[in-house]
Amino acid sequence: MIYPSIPLAQTVIELCKAKGIEHIVISPGSRNAPLTIGFTNDSFFKCYSIVDERCAAFFALGIAQQIQKPTAVVCTSGSALLNYYPAVAEAYYSDIPLIVLSADRPKHLVGIGDGQTINQKNVFDNHILYSANLKLDLKDEHNLPGNEELPIFKNFEDRLERFLGLQKDIQSYNEEEIQLAINHAYVKQGPVHINIPFDEPLYKTVEKLGVSPKVTEMVVKEKSIESYTLQECLEDWNAATRKMILVGVNAPNSIEQKWLDELAEDDSVIVFTETTSNLSHDSFFPSIDQMIAPLTKAEELALQPDILVTFGGLIVSKKIKAFLRKYQPKQHWHIGEKDANDTFFCLNNHLEVMPNQFFETFLPKLTHYVKSHYHSNWMKIKENRLEKHQQYLDQIPFSDFKVFDAIFNAIPDYNVLQIGNSSAIRYAQLFNLNKTLHVYCNRGTSGIDGSTSTAIGCAVASANPTTFVTGDLSFFYDSNALWNNYIPVNFRIVVVNNSGGGIFRILPGHKDTENFDTYFETTHNLTAKQLCEMHGFEYVTANEETSLAYALEGFYETSKKPKLLEVFTPKQVNDKVLLNYFEFLK
C-alpha cells in the first residue's frame, strides 16, 4: 500500500479512517498532495475530485446531510480555503457535520510574501465549532534532499524543539487536536477546520506507515430534563387552552408517529409544519402562509397562543415570524440540544434534549386533554383555505404559481426533494407536498450560492432518486455544480426561469424601471440549454401548460443521462398572480 512520506499526513488520514470518515471530497492542488495521495490510495475512502472549491464544499455538505455523518473536504493552501466559507457557514447554521482539511505552508513561509499563502489559522472563527491548527513535523535537516540548509531561524527553532525533546509532544498534540475536531463534528453536528502545514517534498511516498496514532473514544453525555423543569412544563401545559407547535427544518423520520398522533388528538394544540419539517398529519397545518396571510384582527387575536413550542431548524415563513412577534405567546419553549434562537423575542425555556426524547418523556405524563376549541376552529378555516386555494389555481393564467403546482404534483413517491432558495422555497410553502417525499433546502444561511451542488451531493449519497427544484438565478449562480463526474442518471433538475430574480417583484419597490431590472431583478435572457449540452444532461423545455404537462409526463422515465427541465414563465404576470392569491384567500 502507498502512503505519503510525511508523518503528519499519515496521522490525519489514519485518524479519519479510525473515526469512520468515509467520504472525502478533494479539490486538486499541490500543497494538499500528501493528503490526496493517502486518501486516494486507501480503498476505505470514497474519494471525489471536484475542481471548484465552493462547489466541492456544498457537494460534501449534501452528502453529510444525507448520511448524517461527517464528510471531509480537502484543499490546497491560499484562497482555495476561502471558497469553502459559504458551505461552512451553511453547515454551521444547519447543524451539518463537515470536516475541512486545509493544507498550509509551514509557519516560517507565512507572512513573507510566499506564493499561494494567506493567514489560514482560525480563518472560519465566527462560523466553526472547532479549529485545530496542527504543528509541522520535526525532521533532520541532514536527511533533506540535496542536504539543503534550512533558514537560520527555522534551523534554530527545530534545534531548540529537538533539544527540548518535543517531537513526541508534537505528534501527541496533533493526534489530540485532530480527534477533538472530528469528535466535535460528530457530537455537536457542525463544521470543524483542521489546518495542516506541510513542508516539501510533498509527493514522496513510502510503503509502510510511520505512525500509529492512539485513538480516543468519543464521550457523549446523555442529556435529560430536570424533574422540576418537567413538572413546571406539565403544569403550564395543562393550564393553557391554546398551544402552538411550530416545526422548522427537521430530518425525516426523526419523530415517532405515535407522538405526532397524540398531539393531533389534543384539541388545545395546533401544529404548524414548514415544508422542510418532514412531518405530516392530516390534522396539522402545512401551508403556514396560506393560513396566516388572510387573517382579520379578530382572527389574529384568536390564533395567539398561550404557549409556543418550537423545534427543528430555521423558519422560512416571514408571515409567522411577523405574527408571533406581534402576538407573542406568554411562553416560548424551544426543544433541541443546540442553541435556541429567540426568533420571536419571547423565549423563556430551552429544553436541551432531542424532540423525540422530550415527547417520550413529556406526553405520557399528561393525564388529560384540556378542553378547547383551538384546534377544531382552525381546522375549519384550513378546509376553507384549501377550497379557495384550488379555486384560485383553476382560474389563474400560466405563471410561476401554476408551474410550481404542476412540478410538485409530478414528483414520484419517495423521491428526495431538494429546493432552491428565494422564490422556490417560498412557493413550496403554499402547497401540500406529497407526504412520501423527503424535503431539504439550505436554510442555514438561505443563500442561493450552493443549492445545486448540495442537491448533487445529496443525489450521490441518497438511496432514493433526487429531484432539485430551483429558480433561474440560483441555478446559473451555481452552474459549476454540473462540472461533476458523479451525477447519477436518475437525478432531475427543474429550473423555473422567469428571466431574473422574480422574488424582488413581490417586494416593495419601483418595478419595470431600468434601475430595478438591472440592480434588483437582474433581468437576463440566459437558458440552461448550452450548459446541459456541455455537461451531458438531457434537456427538456416548456413555456405553457400543454408543453409543461407533456414534458413532466416523461421526465421521470428511466434514462441514460440526468435530465433538466427548464420552464419559462412570464415575469410580468408572476408577481401579480402571487400577490392576488393572498387577497383571494380573504
Percent of the chain with pLDDT over 70: 91
| Nearest residue to 101 (alpha-carbon basis) of 11, 216, 210 | 11
Q: Is residue 389 part of a domain?
A: no
Looking at 202, 236, 255, the residue that finishes a domain is 202
Which pTM value belongs to this model? Answer: 0.92
Burial label for 118, CB within 10 Å (0-12, 13-18, 19+), is middle
Q: Is residue 219 part of a domain?
A: no
> Residue 507: what residue type?
L
On the CB side of 377, CA atoms within 13 Å amount to 12
Q: For residue 506, is pLDDT > 80?
A: no
Q: Is residue 112 part of a domain?
A: yes
- Work out whether strand 23-26 and strand 46-49 pair parallel, antiparallel, or are unpaired: parallel
Q: Which residues contact 387 (CB under 8 A, 6 or more apart)?
A: none
- Asked if 232 and 367 sit in the same domain, the reply is yes
Q: What is residue 160's predicted lDDT score, i.e. its pLDDT?
A: 60
Q: Is residue 569 part of a domain?
A: yes
Q: What is residue 156's predicted lDDT score, i.e. its pLDDT?
A: 62
- Asked if 361 and 409 sit in the same domain, the reply is no
Q: What is residue 137's predicted lDDT score, i.e. its pLDDT?
A: 87
Q: For residue 30, is pLDDT > 90?
A: yes
- Asked if 79 and 178 sit in the same domain, the reply is yes
236 to 224, 242, 246, 329, 444: CA distances (angstroms): 19, 11, 18, 13, 32
- Asked if 189 and 233 sit in the same domain, the reply is no
- Asked if 187 and 307 sit in the same domain, the reply is no
Q: What is residue 246's predicted lDDT score, i.e. its pLDDT?
A: 98
pLDDT (tens digit, 9 = 90+) per residue, 449-486? 999 999 999 999 999 999 999 999 999 999 999 999 99
Q: For residue 141, is pLDDT > 50?
A: no
- Asked if 325 and 437 sit in the same domain, the reply is no
Q: Could you report how far apart the first and last alpha carbons of the chain are, in Å?
A: 70
Percent of the chain with pLDDT over 90: 84
Provide mean pLDDT across the span 56-79: 97
Q: Is residue 373 part of a domain?
A: yes
Average pLDDT, the chain: 92
- Asked if 400 and 376 sit in the same domain, the reply is no
Q: 114 or 122: which carries more pLDDT confidence?
A: 122
> CATH number of the domain that 72 lies in?
3.40.50.970
Looking at 168, 202, 236, the residue that finishes a domain is 202
Written as nine digits, the cell of 68 is: 448524517
Q: What is residue 518's predicted lDDT score, i.e. its pLDDT?
A: 63
Q: What is residue 110's predicted lDDT score, i.e. its pLDDT?
A: 81
- Asked if 467 and 428 sit in the same domain, the reply is yes
- Asked if 362 and 446 sit in the same domain, the reply is no
Q: Is residue 211 part of a domain?
A: no
Q: For residue 557, is pLDDT > 60?
A: yes
Q: 161-177 as b/e, with b when 16 or more CB fall inside 10 Å? A: beeeebeeebbeebbeb
Q: Is residue 307 part of a domain?
A: yes
For the ranges 2-16, 97-111, 346-360, 426-440, the lowest mean pLDDT is seen at 97-111
> CATH number of the domain that 373 lies in?
3.40.50.1220
Q: Let me know how many helices (H) and strands (E) the chain has, helices first.
A: 22, 19
Coil, strand or helix: which one is 196? strand
- Asked if 18 and 121 sit in the same domain, the reply is yes
Coil, strand or helix: which one is 358? helix
Provide the number of structural domains found in the chain. Answer: 3
- State how far the Cα of 491 lies from the Cα of 465, in Å rounded to an integer: 6
Give the range of the structural domain holding residue 565, as residue numbers without chain letter: 396-585
Q: 120-156 as b/e, with b when 16 or more CB fall inside 10 Å? A: beebbeebbbbbbbbbbbbeeeeeeeeeeebeeebee
- Asked if 95 and 60 sit in the same domain, the reply is yes
Q: For residue 131, is pLDDT > 60?
A: yes
Q: What is residue 145's predicted lDDT score, i.e. its pLDDT?
A: 43
Looking at 350, 380, 410, the residue that finishes a domain is 380
Provide mean pLDDT across the span 562-579: 93
- Asked if 268 and 408 sit in the same domain, the reply is no
pLDDT bin (cut points 50, 70, 90) of residue 548 is very high
**Helix or strand run (H / E) with residue 485:** none
Q: Is residue 566 part of a domain?
A: yes
Q: Which residues contact 527 (CB under 8 A, 6 or more apart)?
A: 497, 541, 566
277 to 27, 75, 260, 428: CA distances (angstroms): 33, 33, 13, 12
Q: For residue 152, is pLDDT > 90?
A: no
- Written as one string, the DSSP assignment of 252-278 is TT-S-HHHHHHHHH-TTEEEEE-GGG-
Locus of grid cell 443546540 = 338
pLDDT bin (cut points 50, 70, 90) of residue 368 is confident
pLDDT (tens digit, 9 = 90+) per residue, 256-305? 999 999 999 999 999 999 999 999 999 999 999 999 999 999 999 999 99
pLDDT bin (cut points 50, 70, 90) of residue 218 is confident
